[in-house]
Amino acid sequence: MVDITRIDKENNTVYYDDGTHITFKGFIDGFRVFMKNRIAGESLYPADMERFMRRTSGKNLSQLMKGKKMEGYMEGSSDKLLTKGQKIAIATVITIIMVIIMVFILMKSQGMIPGM
């Protein structure tokens, strides 16, 4: 096994203990070749992430999505200003007021209420 002795940042070169050297680009390419198919039989490139996610268990992904959905629901429901009952009560009061105003306007236009 060969170890790295030093890295020359000015010349972009990596030196090994056996006297050989390589450029940064060559080192990176060699590292990628070495690491390819080393972790869970999959490569480490970001372009392969979608393929890796498709090959994982569907059950795990389904459970993750259910957890995220419930987390979002809890977050959204805890930030609500009014409960469902309060909304119904306010809507009922507004509806009654609107009906009273319409009846008042209708009665005034029919002449049942003397002009003001």
Listing DSSP states for 50-101 in one string gives HHHHHHS-HHHHHHHHHHHHHHHHHHHHHT-SS-HHHHHHHHHHHHHHHHHH
Condensed to tens digits (0 to 9), the pLDDT of residues 7-26 reads 888 888 888 888 888 888 88
Condensed to tens digits (0 to 9), the pLDDT of residues 60-114 reads 666 667 777 777 667 666 656 677 888 899 999 999 999 999 999 999 888 888 7
* Distance of alpha carbon 26 from alpha carbon 24, whole angstroms: 5
Rg (CA), the chain: 36
- What is the value of pTM for the model shown? 0.32
